[in-house]
Structure 1
Amino acid sequence: MSRAIALPDSRAIGVAAPSRALLAGEVRAFLHMRWVAAFGRPVPLAVQGEGRPVLVLPGFLASDNTTARLRRSLRNAGFAVHGWGLGRNLGVSADMLDAIDRRVAAIGDTRPVTLIGWSLGGLIAREYAKRAPDRVNRVITMGSPFSGDPRANNAWRMYERIAGHPVDRPPVECRLNEKPAVPTIACWSARDGVVAPACARGQDGERDMALEFDCTHMAFIADPKAIRTIARLIVD
């Protein structure tokens, strides 16, 4: 299959990966945040889910276990929330969008689903929403590098080794910075030690709204304040 990805946006040329200091902070906090993301108590939420269907897509090398606290919190607030059910995210595969489509169909709700994607999961969510906009209510990305240079992050080398393809030559046709035809919200943080903030924030026309968080890359799915904000974004 031919492979294509958007070339780096000229407006983002010169954007570098987060500093070594920020990356070191991510490394130091990794085990704690990973434990909280998987086993932390549900966060009380002020919103009412009213059965809205939600599908959460994990980041690179993560699984549904990693998004468990976020999903438990949403479920307790009345959202019909689901994990992606595809095991550990080892990178984009040629049939991944088909697998997401089957997962959305298996949810069995007649209403369009809200897609929440952390890091790489957000890129997958955006591409699926372009393919099946009638099945998607909105897309919320968290620290997802959809804009600019796909190598302006501290994960691309590991990604290429594990996924088995260049980060800018995935096994699916895509244009990462092209906005899906559904409401699309990009959550980003200046404290992100993995993805350059400019790449997760995006440019006008690449998303409908960009919202700054005050957290590390890992904390998007674990920090109580971040989880409360994500819940509000689903219903607003």
Structure 2
Amino acid sequence: MAVQAQREDEVSVAAPSKLLLLLEGRAFAEFGSMMLTLPWLRKLPHGDGHPVMLVPGFGTTDGSMQPLRRVLQMLGYKVYGWNQGRNLGMRKGMREKLATHLQDIHLRHDDRKVTLIGWSLGGVFVREMARAQPELVRRVITLGSPINGHPNANNVDGLFRFANRKNPPKLDWDGFQRRRIAPPVPCTAIYSKTDGVVAWKCSLEEPAENTENVEVFSSHFGLGFNPQVLKVIAERLAQSE
């Protein structure tokens, strides 16, 4: 009965309001604020230069991560994309390709552990990469990722289903419940209560010794370059392994 009650509560998590979705246009202003604060961003904590891998959100490519990539390079990190083109969801053979890519980065940097950063759906992917190969991963950072609550509590579910209409996704509730548990590495979930795409409660990690949730004021589309977010990322990357 307790499990059933919990599931009903999770199903009741609603997608963000249409007003919040309309306010996603403020992402342009957030990009402008990043450009204006570049002198300040250069003063963010510089870490040890370890490798970082970025995974974009649904419908986007590595190009969407370029602002974040450039800031991290400015701070001295070796940054890599996911190299899988446009993210339209999991495809045949993609898990194996991502696992190999992570191994290659790890070996290229003399077996140094890699930090994985995923935006939206990309955050779901990096958590599973870390779960599969935790010995290669230093830290996971997710940006507004649907990792909790209910997988349909967002404003792009219809678009996702359209993009995958030839192979309609089926809701694996038990699998989703298992994936709610964080992988065995330090995990930081960055979320915004004004996210207009993913319900903010769905972007939270479950409480554990290796997890933390950090709130910022940002749109969903601005999470990759919002100065507040960049500050949180820089501070976490600079922490010792």
Report the Cα distance in structure 2 between the residues aligned to 1:105 and 1:33, rounded to whole angstroms.
Answer: 37
Aligned with 1:221 (options 224, 237, 240): 224
Contact 1:10 1:148 in 2 (8 A): no
Report the Cα distance in structure 2 between the residues aligned to 1:114 and 1:82, rounded to whole angstroms.
Answer: 10
Contact 1:57 1:121 in 2 (8 A): yes
Report the Cα distance in structure 1 between the residues aligned to 2:189 and 2:31, rounded to whole angstroms.
Answer: 25
Q: Secondary structure at the match of 1:25?
A: helix
Aligned with 1:179 (options 179, 182, 194): 182
Aligned with 1:61 (options 51, 59, 75): 59
Q: Which moved more, 1:49-58 or 1:94-103?
A: 94-103
* CA deviation after TM superposition for structure 1 residue 41, in Å: 8.9
Instruction: State yes or no: 1:147 paired with 2:148.
Output: yes
* CA deviation after TM superposition for structure 1 residue 203, in Å: 3.0
Q: Deviations over 1:98-156 (max 9, x none)?
A: 11112112221211100000000000000111111111111100100110211111111
- Equivalence for 1:203: 206
Paired residue total: 225
Alignment of 1:106-121 (within 5 A): 106-107=104-105, 108-109=108-109, 110-121=111-122
More helix by share: 2
Alignment of 1:5-20 (within 5 A): 9=7, 11-20=9-18
With normalisation by structure 1, the TM-score equals 0.85
**Structure 2: gaps (5+ residues):** 1-5
Q: Residues 169 and 40 from structure 1, CA distance in 2 versus in 1: closer, same or farther, beyond 3 angstroms?
A: farther
Report the Cα distance in structure 1 between the residues aligned to 2:120 and 2:151, rounded to whole angstroms.
Answer: 12
Identity of aligned residues (%): 35
- Equivalence for 2:234: 231
Report the Cα distance in structure 1 between the residues aligned to 2:129 and 2:85, rounded to whole angstroms.
Answer: 18
Q: Secondary structure at the match of 1:165?
A: coil
- Equivalence for 2:77: 79
Report the Cα distance in structure 2 between the residues aligned to 1:99 and 1:34, rounded to whole angstroms.
Answer: 33
With normalisation by structure 2, the TM-score equals 0.84
* CA deviation after TM superposition for structure 1 residue 94, in Å: 3.2
Contact 1:60 1:90 in 2 (8 A): yes
* CA deviation after TM superposition for structure 1 residue 44, in Å: 2.1
Instruction: State yes or no: 1:191 paired with 2:194.
Output: yes
- Equivalence for 2:89: 91
Runs of 4+ in 1 over 6 A off after TM superposition: 33-37
Report the Cα distance in structure 1 between the residues aligned to 2:128 and 2:86, rounded to whole angstroms.
Answer: 19
Output the amino acid matched with 2:60. A
- RMSD (Å) for aligned C-alpha atoms: 2.7
Report the Cα distance in structure 2 between the residues aligned to 1:62 and 1:206, rounded to whole angstroms.
Answer: 32
* CA deviation after TM superposition for structure 1 residue 73, in Å: 0.4
Report the Cα distance in structure 2 between the residues aligned to 1:12 and 1:118, rounded to whole angstroms.
Answer: 22
**Structure 1: gaps (5+ residues):** 1-7
